[in-house]
Amino acid sequence: MFSLNNIFKIVAFLEGVSYILLLFIATPIKYLAHDPQYVKLLGMPHGILFILYVVLAFMLKPEFNWNNKQFRGVLLASIIPFGTFFIEKKYLKTSN
């Protein structure tokens, strides 16, 4: 039911959503409206999700047989907007 693969998919999705909200909503509000409240609100959950994403990627590397190039791509996706969504479609689509 809740395999490590499914947990990784959920964390990847939530990390991607939190990153997009932080970059495209909270940060512009901070600088344009001079209101850092939203960055403070989203920053900690995003940081936790980012760390979980990286730790789970390390744990799943042997299971998915990612070579070093693929693994670097999975890790790099966590710092590129919409990257985790791409990884979910490309590398996690066959897992249940």
Instruction: List, for residues 43-80, the tens digit of each pLDDT value.
Output: 999 999 999 999 999 999 999 999 999 999 999 999 99
Helices and strands in the chain, H and E counts:
5, 0
In the chain, the DSSP E strands lie at none
pTM of the entire predicted model: 0.88
- What is the chain's Cα-based Rg? 15
CB within 8 Å of 95: residues ≥ 6 apart? 3, 5, 6, 9, 64
How many C-beta atoms surround the C-beta of residue 87 within 10 A?
24
With a cut of 90, say whether residue 22 has pLDDT above it: yes
